[in-house]
A = this chain, B = another copy of it.
Amino acid sequence: MPTPARGSSTTPGAPDAEALCDAALAGDRRALARLLTAVENRTPLAEMALRRLYPLAGRAQLVGVTGPPGAGKSTLVAALIAELRRAGRPVAVVAVDPSSPITGGAVLGDRVRMQAYAADDGVFIRSMASRGHSGGLSAATTAAAAVFDAVGFDIVLIETVGTGQSEVEVAAAADTTVVVEAPEMGDEVQAIKAGLLEVADVIVVNKGDRPGAHRTAGQLHAMLADAPRDARPGRPSPKRPEVLVTTAATGEGVAELLAAIDRHRSTVRGSDGETSRLKRAEAQVWAVLVDRLHARVRALEGAEEVPAAGLSAAIPSPRVSAAGGLLRSVASHEIDPYAAADAILARLVGDAPGSREARK
């Protein structure tokens, strides 16, 4: 008997999920934390909880904050939290965290940040490991944001530590994407190297007290003037992002940044936000589809255990065991990946490459 795949069973933990949702909706932070852990691990409890909470979500503004290492993203997020709290606005943070299993790294840092607001129910900071999520990182992050949204957080900051493709996608799937840059980082503007410019709705040159901050802002202005607008994928009516200068450490310019974020919110309420909302829906639906397909592959006969490759959520390691023999033949180049995939697909859903039955 194959074990059920993550999220594929809805029965176990069901009452638990109901109770947790009620508690979280009533403001119980421990219940909220447990829900977020379930969502991150895509457990059956997460499926129950999301089915209950998802319809309650859809009001919060998701604000992605990304940029190269050393730009001061964490400090800027902390300054934004302080600014929002001054205005009495609740705020949740999802910190996408590539930190090493060996050291804990940034997760530890976020625990420390969290301490500062332990007594403030208006702030919730949650780290989410990017490790093992990469095809599904957008899904995991936006599912966590939906939980925060459902329990009443009006703004959710999504801070990505890395500047890899999946991290950029996470930030780009937010309603409003803030790209943080530090002045004079090396011989070129790092955000460009990382391909961040075309996903930015607001660009912040942080560490504004440093020499060259305003020169960097000027460079960015000039670049954006030259940039082909269609270079921002899927943005229906692309606008040039605002470029601001902040000094997060002193809080200078942070109120202006929040104002720019609020201004952008009004635009994403309309059709401008449609693409981000579709991206997030797509990521979540596809993640579930992959889990379901994964459950079927796991259920194939001839499952045998091999060391988990743990490549990514989009390539769940148990699949190694599902068609282990086939994968070994591919690994030894006896058969090609297409032959193996079609053999697996044929066993899963009938005739392999064709989609005749799907057209019925």
Contact = CB atoms under 8 A, between A and B. Distances in A.
A331 interface: yes
A162 B281 CA distance: 27
A70 B186 contact: yes
Contacts of A327: 278, 281-282, 285
Interface stretch (A83-91, A113-121, A210-218, A291-299): A291-299
Contacts of A331: 274, 277-278, 280-281
A100 to B, nearest CB: 4
A280 B298 CA distance: 19
Contact of A309 (B198, B279, B359): B279
A169 B162 CA distance: 13
Given A310-B234, A349-B348, A51 B339 contact: yes
Interface in A189-240: 190, 192-198, 223, 227-228, 231, 233-234, 236
B54 A336 contact: yes
Interface residues of A, number: 124
B278 A309 contact: yes
A289 B167 CA distance: 24
Interface stretch (A14-22, A251-259, A312-320): A312-320
Contact of A100 (B198, B319, B344, B352): B198
Contact of A196 (B100, B338, B341, B349): B100
B58 A285 contact: no
Contacts of A169: 134, 311-312
A123 to B, nearest CB: 24
A233 B309 CA distance: 7
B98 A358 contact: no
Contact of A353 (B279, B292, B355): B292
A315 B321 CA distance: 24
A277 B301 CA distance: 23
A307 B165 contact: no
Given A292-B353, A293-B293, A345-B289, A308 B164 contact: no
A196 B68 CA distance: 17
Interface stretch (A26-34, A101-109, A151-159): A101-109
